[in-house]
Structure 1
Amino acid sequence: MKTNTITTLFKKVCLIALAFISFTAVAQDEEEKKWFDNFSVNGSVDGYFRANLTGPNKAADGEFLAPSTSFANQNGFSLGMANVILGYEGEKVGFVADLVYGPRGADAVFNSEGSANIINQMYVYWNVSEKVTLTMGNFNTYLGYEVISPTGNFNYSTSYMFSYGPFSHTGLKADFAINDEWSAMVAVMNPTDYTENNPFDTYIVGAQLGYAVDNGSAYLNFRYGNEGVPGEVGPTFQADLTTGWDLSEDFYLGINGTYLSTEPQEDGDSFGFYGVALYPQYKTSESFTLGLRGEYFAEYSGGVDALDVDDEGDGSVFAATLTGSYAVGDLTFKPELRLDSTSEDSFEDGDFEPTDSLISFTLGAIYKF
């Protein structure tokens, strides 16, 4: 009898001890989970060196001579931008505050210059369900292959299609996860690149259909609307296809094609641009990848002032950019050789005579954290 009593008492003590240990572990887990655990901070810093190889770095009129694309177009050693991205990812809601400072950042938010021009993106979102997410605020464009941040591009310099397409939008968008492979998006937005307010009281609509699997993805994008003062500027329509696939463990191919047309308000023809670019990349080792961007870009009926044009307002360019990407930890060096060949004489040679081609060299350095 005494033995049974002791055994029963021992079992009770063990159960109480186990319960106490379990309670303590749960309490520790709850205590270790801080309120700021869902916050994140990341970003990048970049700079570059650029020089022309077949012409002067300054034209006869004293202006910098460079391809008429965005960002990496200054002479000598130049600054890119400092980028800090703050985020909060809750179970249902969250936000992103993407802040930039420096020449690349100022160029990216040019229509906001002089006010809050350190804002690259600033939006809030609500996961309404597992299939639907609503986002409101300022977000980078969904069109095109390239992005503003150099960490999201393989080439350091940017393409013509990216440079003269939209950079950012401010508005309300709804993303739909149709199934594990297909997605869709619809949006109502301010005129393109007017990120802080709407000065024209007009809106544009956007749409996207996406398909993504393990080895690649494809996105068909659209936007339509009046990008300026009604009666002065007609509606703009743009269709864009962006796709990229891992064709093998070491070889990747990206493709971007776009078409943009703006309607005239009075007599005349629609004007705009179109283009296509291929982005093959080959990984030679864990630290080095070699890639090429081959782009054909043309504007018609005056276009968007991207190129020198003929009497009909037409002009085109073929640009081939060979880029190496060498990673040393979180720092990446990108040496780049670029050829721009235009239909009209858009550059100057060593004797300051008009010429239709320019070869330039760029070395970019990007630190990502």
Structure 2
Amino acid sequence: MKKLFTLSMFFIACSLFAQEEETEEKKSFEFSGSIDAYYRANLTAPNDENAIAPGSSFANLPGFSLGMANLVASYEGEKVGFVADLVFGPRGTDAIFASPMYSATGDIVNQLYAYWNVSENVTLTMGNFNTFLGYEVISPVANFNYSTSYLFSYGPFSHTGLKADFALSDDFSLMLGVFNDTDLTEFNPTGDYAAGAQLGYKDQFLNVLLDPSFFEIDFTGGFNISDEFFLGINAAYLSLEDDAGGFMGAALYPQYTVSDTFSIGLRTEYFAEDGAFGAIGSGVEDTSVIAATITGSFTIEDNLIIKPEIRFDSASDDAFIDNDLAATKSLGSFVLAAIYSF
């Protein structure tokens, strides 16, 4: 009888311990982030005080330059959680270009949101979060290429509002949301609101954003051609209200894994403006650009990634303008980036 009692107590203790472990697994606090720095030089243009750069965001400063420090605190519970994503440095400043609007520290808040898992298939999220459109993201850790595409640079960066994510099946997902005007992160100064939707099927996503000042439709996806070869795809069309212009473009991202520590990838992009949207060159109307970027990715002890990159941009007009207003149609450049994540 004593042995049976002892054995029963043992199983009860194991059960309580397992439940405690399960609870701990469901509730976790995590602190993560990254830092990045780079060297950039033009191959076909001067590198003095009049140095020019592609008209896309980030990695466009001359010489040895800073990216950003990215600090992310997150809590994931069984039902609720939050993300506080802070950025410091030039890349962060470019990403939060419309802040501060009210607070003195609005320009360091990349994301700040809370979420509620209403059920296994429904999640509500409220706050500020990075955009659901496009293939590339703000953090250099999640991008294969270090410099960014025109499609990414002139699409939305972030939204502040409320969204609902639905897992419709193992293959289909749906997101519906209502937001402030695009990239107005801290509050709503206009009284207008945007609406967004995303339909996903096996990691292929069709995105729509209806903003008071523009309409954008975007396709983002990718395919594992083999264990070593991946092909990413992004295409988008944006139209400003009252036929005031816009843009369209497409990009392919073939990437090949050579070994556990080295991969190589190519981004080829066509981007065209309707009117003088301003994405390629200030005041240049109805112009287009073809850009090719080849990037190597060396992983050193999991946390450090070294990325050498060569990029060529060729526009239909004199779109690359230096500080002396000298212009050229094409530009070749080199970047060497170091990215550390934790």
> Shared fold by TM > 0.5?
yes
User: Do structure 1's residue 223 and structure 2's residue 205 form an aligned pair?
Assistant: no
Q: 1:299 to 1:72 in 2, by over 3 A?
A: same
User: Do structure 1's residue 303 and structure 2's residue 277 form an aligned pair?
Assistant: yes
Cross-structure match for 1:321: 293
- Give the deviation of 1:321 after TM superposition: 0.3
- Give the deviation of 1:87 after TM superposition: 1.1
Q: Secondary structure of 1:112's partner?
A: coil
- Structure 2 unpaired stretches of 5+: none
- Give the deviation of 1:21 after TM superposition: 2.6
TM-score by structure 2 length? 0.93
User: Do structure 1's residue 179 and structure 2's residue 169 form an aligned pair?
Assistant: yes
Structure 1: distance between partners of 2:149 and 2:310: 14
Cross-structure match for 2:268: 294
Cross-structure match for 2:319: 346
Q: Please identify the structure whose Cα radius of gyration is greater.
A: 1
Cα-to-partner distance string for 1:185-235 (whole Å, 9 max, x where unaligned): 1110001111110111100000110011xxxx2100001121xxxxxxxx3
- Structure 1 unpaired stretches of 5+: 1-11, 227-234
Structure 1: distance between partners of 2:206 and 2:74: 28
User: Do structure 1's residue 75 and structure 2's residue 62 form an aligned pair?
Assistant: yes
Cross-structure match for 1:209: 199
Structure 2: distance between partners of 1:73 and 1:303: 20
Cα-to-partner distance string for 1:77-120 (whole Å, 9 max, x where unaligned): 11111112111111111111111111111111111135322111
Cross-structure match for 2:74: 87
- RMSD over aligned CA atoms reads 2.1
Matches within 5 A, 1:134-173: 134-173=124-163
Cα-to-partner distance string for 1:271-292 (whole Å, 9 max, x where unaligned): 1111110100111111111100
Structure 1: distance between partners of 2:121 and 2:325: 59
Q: Letter of the aligned partner of 2:274 in structure 1? A: Y
Single out whichever of 123-132 and 20-29 deviates more from structure 2.
Answer: 20-29
TM-score by structure 1 length? 0.86
**Which residue among 8, 11, 22 is the counterpart of 2:11?**
22
Structure 2: distance between partners of 1:247 and 1:360: 30
Cross-structure match for 1:245: 223
Structure 2: distance between partners of 1:46 and 1:209: 33
Structure 1: distance between partners of 2:72 and 2:246: 34
Cross-structure match for 1:132: 122
Structure 2: distance between partners of 1:104 and 1:130: 36
Q: 1:176 to 1:352 in 2, by over 3 A?
A: closer
Given that residues 55 and 348 in structure 1 are in contact (C-alpha distance below 8 angstroms), is that contact kept between their aligned partners in structure 2? no
Structure 2: distance between partners of 1:196 and 1:309: 30
Single out whichever of 18-27 and 37-46 deviates more from structure 2.
Answer: 18-27
